[in-house]
Chain A
Amino acid sequence: MKQFEYVRPASVAEAVAAAARPGAAYLAAGTNLLDLMKGGVSRPDRLVDITHLDGLDRIERLADGSLRIGALVSNADLAHDAEFARCYPAVAEALLSGASAQLRNAATVGGNLLQRTRCAYFYDTASRCNKREAGSGCDARGGENRTHAVLGWSESCIATHPSDFCVPLVALDAIVEIEGRAGRREIALDDLHRLPGETPARETALEPGDLIVAVRLPPAAREFAAHARYLKVRERTSYAFAVVSAAAALRIENGRIRDVRLALGGVAARPWRARAAEDLLKGATPAKDVFREAARRALADAKPSGDNAFKIELARRIVVRALTLAAAGTPARIPALPASPLASTSGAIHA
């Protein structure tokens, strides 16, 4: 790990000023940043430690019915907040399906949003990677890319965003509060992560010094609590990144889908909101056929970026399954294996 200057600011304003300098990076829990620094993928000159800042670790219910989650709230504290899990069950389930209990205890909400891709060529500093080093090329294209992007990728970059948490958040129109050199602003989470295009090194809408201070769920987000699921296909039962994942949230009134939110994970450089599918579903009666059509629409623009054509079919299927499970109703308690398709392995077997 490169030597760096360690800065512990006393206020958010001080933090922003300290982090605006070139080569600076924010340190929260460090569960992703330290991993990247140990691998030589990130080599910051200066770490601005925000973990001692006051006021960023609160979960607050606002007067308008929004929920404001401080950027330093840990993934575990958020997921285990009973009120939060009741109102936003798919988000809690997504959180609990990510990483391990140890990592969830440390990792923060803000850090989760900004975690970097798991693309092996991004991590392997001997490989060419346009994300790590602009203009160097992409060795993932034509390489071992079975788990890479099928939506929104470019010739420059086929990496995916690895977050589980972001998938239901994007579905629920989460808003990101940012403190920057020009003061506070907010953007939709859906606008935080950029698609690679020609400039995959530019991953987010953040400017130098920008600090995510909170994530807000708007009042409408809680209206889906009765029919919301996150589902994640993995290569081992736990402690694995998603091959593909989906968050589905429905508002069902009188047997019809009054409102719907749908997003996919593991398929693109950002959590992928499936608005065309949502449009189709609005007003429909929940049923397999319409779910399948929604899945078709959600993946209409998908194309393989390598040996990963199966992910398109898998993504369609997970959309159908997530919608089906959401329509069936949020379980009373988060399943023993959160977000796992194999969560409900009951005893009886039928020939």
Chain B
Amino acid sequence: MPELNLTSAPAHLRHGSNIGQPLTRRDGVLKVKGQATYAADNHPPGMLFAVMAVSSIARGRVTSLDIAAAKRHPGVVDVMTPDHKPPLAVDPEVKTNPFVFRMEVLQSNEVRYANQPIAVVIAETLEAATEGAVLLAPRYEALPALVGLDAGESYVPPVVGVGNPTENHRGDVEAGLASAEKQIDATYETPPQYHNAMEPHAIVAHWDGDHLSIDMPTQGLMLSLARIAELFGIAHDKIHIRSPFLGGGFGSKGLMAGPPTLGIMAAKLVGKPVKLVLRREQMFGPVGHRAPTRQRLRIGADGEGRLTAIDHHARTVSSTFDDFYEPAADASHTLYAAPAIRTSHDAVRVNTGTPLFMRAPGEATGSLALESAIDEMAWACGLDPLAFRLKNYAEVEPITGRPFSSKALRACYEQGAARFGWAQRVREPRQMRDDAGLLVGWGMGTATFPALMFQAEARAVIRRDGSGAMEIGAHDMGQGAWTALAQIAADAVGLDIDRVDFKAGTSDLPDAGIAGGSAHTATAGAAIHSAGAAVIAKLADLATGDERSPLFGAGNAGVIARDGKLIRRDDASRSESYADILSRAGLVEVEARGTGAPNPAAMQDYAMHAHGAVFAEVKVDPELGQVRVARMVGAFAAGRIVNPHLVRSQLYGGMIWGLSFALHEEAITDRRSGRIMNANLAEYHIPVNADVPPLDVITVEEHDPHVNALGIKGVGEIGITGSAGAVANAVWHATGVRVRRFPIKIEELLTDL
């Protein structure tokens, strides 16, 4: 990987502090010039191309592969199969920790889902490898595929999501429902969805003796490194992973999956660098997806429109060989102040790749069902949807009774509604049309996402030339780590951002944890903040303990770091530059490390969530059923905003995912074969530019003293929640038709004659 040449944007704003400023992306110039190097852009000398052959059956076993035919094709070098592959140090079926998922790396002939890798063809050219994979012409012994939410006997999984209890309750739900004046009992279905980052999973792997060099997009450098070390039986320090840019991740590049592992195996097999890139259709299987759900919501409300109970049950699926359960019902834990809440899950096993975290796992699916049901209840109670939500506003977290660390949701409702013009809404559905006769509907949804913290470490350096460095193996999936974390770093070491050499994206840097759970900026940011404070403390020790320094005697806490200087807190006229301090001390540099981690005490005492309110206007052709979102307004309170420019983009992106959830996205599985019939981007619809209306994002001021040192809550996922519900509720308001199976389809909306 060439040295990254990040540039700050021309003429960005600067008001003394870096955090909070809308800097444009420091990797922007690289990206607009096509110079940002994604994994598949690498081409070490002598590199060969590897292409996976994948299964066309969903269950059974491979009985034959025509390896000879593949090898006869000019340029084909080798074919890796279960009988011909380098050994692994551990059984890929063994789960050593909850973040290890079983993967298919040619350990047997068994097929557990369609699109499972069954062989890898390695060739001198991409064309030869691609055709070689076709020439394998696999034969199978197929068994009946398990497909859909009713595929078999249901069971209660031990946990859902990442270690959440399968069931939760507070209060007496049945009594609450029995006493209710109004009841809603509705079942919602959400389809399987696939992350489909624009960048397909890719790896360039190169063995040099027992050293392994890897270019691969990953949201978890150290988790990947540890898994690779374990699989191949090599020491951590023999592995170097570069992941400076991800072409989108959304959860699918968080954990080491089968395909990149196969790339490493292929490189080992042939003794040359190998590039393996997934074909788009191969993204529908071995690299995770969002499981389908069927959610039943029973809600009760009294005569005043106050909730008496919420019972939220979610059915989901996992694979036949591993466990991940979309924690959909958990969405009902935090938002509405029902005195009785019960959430529960069950599941069936199907022949798919194992489901995985996909942007707001559980929150996205659960929020859509909950927000739809709340909308139905508001209507049943004769209340405006916003008024109903305010009436049931949770002052403490309903499922636990804990206070919120901060919660500016009321302000989100107010500001969002004002910007949208919600007060003009007519309560009855199907009352509004535009000039062209299209039905118009307004809907809203509440957004929520937990403010999580993982573990991270950072290393800060101050150099004798007065510059600084901050090192952290952080990941930029598009959220803007190269910029936002560098802003935090600059403030942490008291330097202008251009004076800080910010390093990220490789596995030889301190462990930044995982870029997931909307927690990366908070976690990595906390580590950076703490490393910066530690290095400044060392510098302060040097200065305040040296009588030649104008800061002598000020004490460590008596100085602050700003603009490359330590300044006396009580006398700003007395200061000394970093350069002077270090050169007098005869030091080339000082360095220190810092960590970011959750605060267990705060987690015990407080419920920590970001919140938001999303308002949507849709237009529906009353005769032809086609829908288009006309505008959306989202108001979000997510603690401290590090960079409003990037945060707005993240929230826009989430809102578009919500729109897509409500109206477009769905993997269609053949009920007989278990194959996904729209494993392409022509028919697996994600929104195009013309689907996306003018969007408006308001970031509501919120100070949270408890979540972490910087008060950051994270914005990566919250945008989906609330948005899908807002669009769905707007479709109801436009048409009077309540669609409970998503995405909403044309045939549901053929209303006018």
- Touching in the complex, A and B, CB below 8 A? yes
Supposing A126-B675, A317-B623 touch, asked if A236 and B134 sit within 8 A by C-beta, the answer is no
* C-alpha spacing A106/B659, complex, angstroms: 31
Contact status of A349 and B750, CB under 8 A, knowing A1-B127, A144-B670, A144-B677: no
A321 at the interface (CB under 8 A from B): yes
Q: Is the CB of B673 within 8 A of A236?
A: no
Interface residues of B in 424-440 (CB under 8 A from A): 426, 431-436, 438, 440
A282 contacts the other chain (CB 8 A)? no
Closest 8 CB pairs of A and B: A126-B56, A310-B747, A120-B677, A237-B690, A238-B690, A346-B435, A344-B436, A341-B621
Identify the stretch in B98-106, B479-487, B624-632 within 8 Å (CB) of chain A at 4 or more residues.
B624-632
Q: A314 contacts B670, CB within 8 Å?
A: no
Q: In the complex, are the beta carbons of B746 and A235 less than 8 A apart? A: yes
Give how many A residues have a beta carbon under 8 Å from the other chain's beta carbons.
44
- Report which of B127, B426, B624, B682 forms a contact with A241, defined as CB distance below 8 A: B682
Given contacts A143-B670, A238-B690, contact A314 B750 (CB under 8 A): yes
User: A4-22 vs B: 1/0 string, CB under 8 Å?
Assistant: 0000000000000000000
Residues from chain A with Cβ under 8 Å of B675 in the complex: 124, 126-127
The residue that B624 contacts in the complex, of A2, A124, A314, A351, with Cβ under 8 A, is A314
Q: Is the CB of B435 within 8 A of A348?
A: yes
Q: Are B433 and A350 in contact (CB under 8 A)?
A: yes
Query: A126 near B623 (CB under 8 angstroms)?
Result: no
Report A216-241 CB contacts with B as 1/0, cut-off 8 Å. Answer: 00000000000000000111111111
- Measured in the bound complex, the distance between the Cα atoms of B626 and A168 in whole Å is 21
Q: For B678, what are the chain A residues with a Cβ–Cβ distance below 8 Å? A: 120
Q: Which residues of A contact B298 (CB under 8 A)?
A: none
Q: Per-position contact with A for B662-700: 1 when CB-CB < 8 Å, else 0?
A: 011000111111010110001101011111000000000
Q: Once bound together, how far apart are the Cα atoms of A127 and B687, in whole Å?
A: 28
In the complex the two chains form, what is the Cα distance from A214 to B432 in whole Å? 49
Contact with B along A240-252 (1 / 0, CB 8 A): 1101000000000
Known: A124-B675, A126-B675, A241-B682. A341 touches B626 (CB 8 A): yes
Q: Are A342 and B432 in contact (CB under 8 A)?
A: no
B664 nearest CB neighbor, chain A only: A236
Q: Would you list 27 pairs from A and B whose C-beta atoms are within 8 A, ordered by A residue? A: A2-B134, A40-B134, A118-B683, A124-B677, A126-B673, A127-B673, A127-B675, A142-B672, A143-B672, A143-B677, A144-B668, A144-B669, A233-B746, A235-B685, A235-B745, A236-B688, A236-B690, A239-B690, A240-B685, A241-B682, A310-B747, A313-B750, A314-B624, A342-B621, A347-B434, A348-B435, A350-B432
Chain A CB within 8 A of B541 CB: no
User: Given contacts A243-B746, A346-B434, are A237 and B688 in contact (CB under 8 A)?
Assistant: yes
B434 touches A349 (CB 8 A): yes
Asked whether any CB of chain A lies closer than 8 Å to the CB of B708, the reply is no
* Bound complex: CA A344 to CA B433 (Å): 12
A146 to chain B, nearest CB (A): 8
Q: Given A143-B677, A310-B750, A314-B746, does the pair A351, B682 have CB atoms closer than 8 Å?
A: no
- 13 A-B pairs besides A142-B672, A237-B690 with CB distance below 8 A are A3-B73, A40-B134, A118-B683, A124-B56, A126-B673, A126-B675, A127-B670, A139-B670, A139-B673, A233-B624, A233-B746, A337-B690, A342-B628
Residue of chain B at shortest CB distance from A292 = B753
Question: Does B619 count as interface, using CB distance less than 8 angstroms?
Answer: yes
Within the complex, the shortest CB–CB distance from A321 to chain B, in Å, comes to: 6
A residues near B626, Cβ cutoff 8 Å: 233-234, 340-342
Q: Is the CB of A351 within 8 A of B431?
A: yes
What B residues does A239 contact at CB under 8 A? 688, 690
Q: Whole-angstrom distance between the alpha carbons of A166 and B746 in the complex?
A: 24
Q: Is A121 an interface residue (CB 8 A)?
A: yes
The SS class assigned to the A binding surface is loop
Output the least CB separation between A241 and chain B (Å).
7
Name the prevailing secondary structure of the B interface residues.
loop
A92 on the B face (CB < 8 A): no
Interface centre among B127, B438, B624, B628 (most CB of A within 10 A): B624
Which A residues lie within 8 Å of B56 (CB)? 124-126
CB distance from B669 to the nearest CB of A (A): 8
CB of B270, distance to nearest CB on chain A (Å): 22
Mask, B450-485, CB within 8 Å of A = 1, is 000000000000000000000000000000000000
Contact A236 B750 (CB under 8 A): no
Which B residue sits closest to A344, measured CB to CB? B436
**With a CB–CB cut-off of 8 A, which chain A residues contact B440?**
349
Contacts A118-B682, A348-B435, A350-B432 given; does A236 touch B746 at CB 8 Å: no
**Is B384's beta carbon under 8 Å from chain A?**
no
Chain A nearest CB from B426 CB (Å) reads 6
Chain A: CB-nearest residue to B114: A126
User: Residue-by-residue, is B611-649 near A (CB-CB < 8 Å gives 1, otherwise 0)?
Assistant: 000000001010111101010000000000000000000
Q: Determine the chain B residues whose CB is within 8 A of the CB of A233 once the complex forms.
A: 624-626, 746
Which residues of A (124-160) have their CB < 8 Å from a CB of B?
124-127, 139, 142-144
Check A318 for interface membership: any CB of B closer than 8 A. Answer: yes
Q: Closest approach, in angstroms, between the C-beta of B440 and any C-beta of chain A?
A: 5
Q: How far is the CA of A351 from the CA of B733 in the complex (A)?
A: 12
For residue A249, give the distance in angstroms from its CB to the closest CB of chain B.
19
Cα distance, A317 to B127, chains bound together (Å): 47
Cα distance A125–B677 in the bound complex, in angstroms: 11
B81 touches A (CB below 8 Å):
no
Contacts of A102 in B (CB 8 A): none
The docked-state distance in angstroms from the alpha carbon of A3 to that of B745 is 42
**Bound state CA distance, A11 and B440, in angstroms?**
57
Are A342 and B619 closer than 8 Å at their CB atoms? yes
CA distance A345 to B626 in the complex (A): 13
Q: Give the docked Cα–Cα distance between A241 and B675 (Å).
A: 21
* Selected contact of A1 from candidates B131, B426, B624, B671, CB within 8 Å: B131
Residue in A235, A313, A314 with the greatest tally of chain B CB atoms within 10 Å: A235
Contact of A237 with B691 in the complex, beta carbons under 8 Å: yes
Assembled-state Cα–Cα distance A119/B115 (Å): 19
CA distance A321 to B623 in the complex (A): 9
Q: B324 to nearest A CB, angstroms?
A: 25
User: Could you say which residues of chain B place their CB within 8 Å of the CB of A243?
Assistant: 746
Asked if B261 is an interface residue, CB under 8 A from chain A, the answer is no
Question: In the complex, which residues of chain A have a beta carbon less than 8 angstroms from the beta carbon of B73?
Answer: 3
The smallest beta-carbon distance between B103 and chain A, in angstroms, is 23
Which residues of chain A from 62 to 85 have any CB-CB distance to chain B below 8 Å in the complex? none
Q: Tell whether, in the assembled complex, residue A346 and residue B436 are in contact, meaning their CB atoms are under 8 Å apart.
A: yes
Q: Does any Cβ of A come within 8 Å of B130's Cβ?
A: yes
A2 CB contacts on chain B under 8 angstroms: 131, 134
Contacts of B750 in A (CB 8 A): 310, 313-314, 317
With beta carbons under 8 angstroms apart, the residue of B432, B623, B668, B747 that contacts A349 is B432
Distance between A309 CB and nearest chain B CB, rounded to angstroms: 9
Partner of B687, one of A121, A236, A321: A236
- Chain B neighbourhood of A124, CB < 8 A: 56, 675, 677
CA distance A127 to B670 in the complex (A): 10
A241–B683 Cα distance when bound, in Å, is 8
**A320 in contact with B623 given A118-B683, A236-B664 (CB within 8 Å):** yes
Question: Cα distance A317–B621 when bound, in Å?
Answer: 11
Whether B623 contacts A351 by the Cβ 8 Å rule is no
Of all chain A residues, the one with the shortest Cβ separation from B681 is A239
**Docked complex Cα distance between A314 and B623 (Å):** 8
Closest beta carbon of chain B to A139's beta carbon, Å:
8
Are the CB atoms of A348 and B434 closer together than 8 Å?
yes
Residues of A within 8 A of B625 (CB): 233, 314
Question: Shortest Cβ distance from A206 into chain B, in angstroms?
Answer: 25
**Shortest Cβ distance from A119 into chain B, in angstroms?**
9
Given contacts A314-B746, A351-B426, contact A235 B131 (CB under 8 A): no
Complexed CA–CA distance, A317 and B440 (Å)? 20
- CB nearest neighbor in A for B428: A351
Complex Cα distance A119/B688, Å? 22
Min CB distance B745 to A, Å, is: 8
Chain A 312-351 per-residue mask, 1 if CB under 8 angstroms from chain B, else 0: 0110011011000000000000000100111011111111
Q: Which B residue sits closest to A340, measured CB to CB? A: B626
Are the C-beta atoms of B624 and A341 separated by less than 8 Å? yes
